[in-house]
Chain A
């Protein structure tokens, strides 16, 4: 497997969607190709930092607007 083929399978590799033989081929490629290993590790890190970033509390004014707006519209809908 060359570098281009490894990168094309990168998502499937990260998501664990490859058969054992292809996974082994990619892992063997990493032994010889530090750059592909870096790309895979950095892509995993990229996904991780986005997933680890917890959503912030809504600002009070936004939260109030959302809930008041919902209450008003739901009240209108049920009347």
Chain B
């Protein structure tokens, strides 16, 4: 087993002393399981942007998102021996990061975040009102930076119970079953909340995307 200290002192984390090929995730995971921290750091480098986006989307708070990301990577390393490889490493990592982010969100809003209780108003009328045409390519009317700000703003406006499901299912593309398992919800509850999350976000984007909207 390589000495962790030697590998950790590698000047550029993108340059692996390891012979593991970059595209072979399972080899990196196998090497990391054996204590090759450089292999693990390569996994971190691959997924840090996506994991930070995930923790930012869930917590809506930069400090919490940073802490959740760091703890997610640390926990994934500590529990790597339990990773059986029956799902992608990234899917497993997303579940850990989502839990870390959710814990911080609950600390910040202790009475507002409960995933396992029925949500008041879930039987409400779902049909949107005042539906207006967005015209062709509504997203093309915005610069990339502006679009990021809009998306970040609208996702923060919907309740965490819906946001979590949308983030895992639609942005991270976990299956309905994996999303349910990660959040401790039933599959019907995930489906129900995903539908509402999608409709709520559509409604929030309407003010930007409708023709002659807030641009």
Smallest distance from the beta carbon of B212 to chain A beta carbons, Å? 16
- A8-B195, A49-B151, A53-B148 known; A38 and B44 CB under 8 Å? no
In the assembled complex, B191 has its CB within 8 A of some CB on chain A: yes
State which of B40, B49, B131 has its C-beta within 8 Å of the C-beta of A38: B131
Closest Cβ neighbor of B78 among chain A residues: A77
Q: 1/0 per position for B53-67, CB-CB distance to A under 8 A?
A: 100000000000010
- A67-B41, A74-B8, A75-B8 known; A45 and B139 CB under 8 Å? yes
Q: Is the CB of A50 within 8 A of B126?
A: no
Interface size (B, Cβ < 8 Å)? Answer: 49
| Chain A residues whose CB sits within 8 angstroms of the CB of B133 once the complex forms | 38
Q: Is the CB of B8 within 8 A of A43?
A: no
| Chain A residues whose CB sits within 8 angstroms of the CB of B53 once the complex forms | 55-56
State which of A11, A39, A50 has its C-beta within 8 Å of the C-beta of B171: A50
Residues of B that sit less than 8 Å from A by CB: 4-5, 8, 13, 35, 37, 40-41, 44, 48-50, 52-53, 66, 69-70, 73-74, 77-78, 125-128, 131-134, 138-139, 147-148, 151, 155, 166, 170-171, 173, 191, 194-195, 198-199, 201-202, 205-206, 209
Apart from A70-B41, A70-B73, what are 11 other A-B pairs with CB-CB below 8 Å? A14-B198, A35-B131, A38-B131, A38-B134, A50-B155, A52-B139, A53-B151, A70-B70, A70-B74, A70-B77, A74-B40
Residues of A that sit less than 8 Å from B by CB: 3-4, 7-8, 10-12, 14, 35, 38-39, 42-43, 45-53, 55-58, 62-63, 65-67, 69-71, 73-75, 77-78
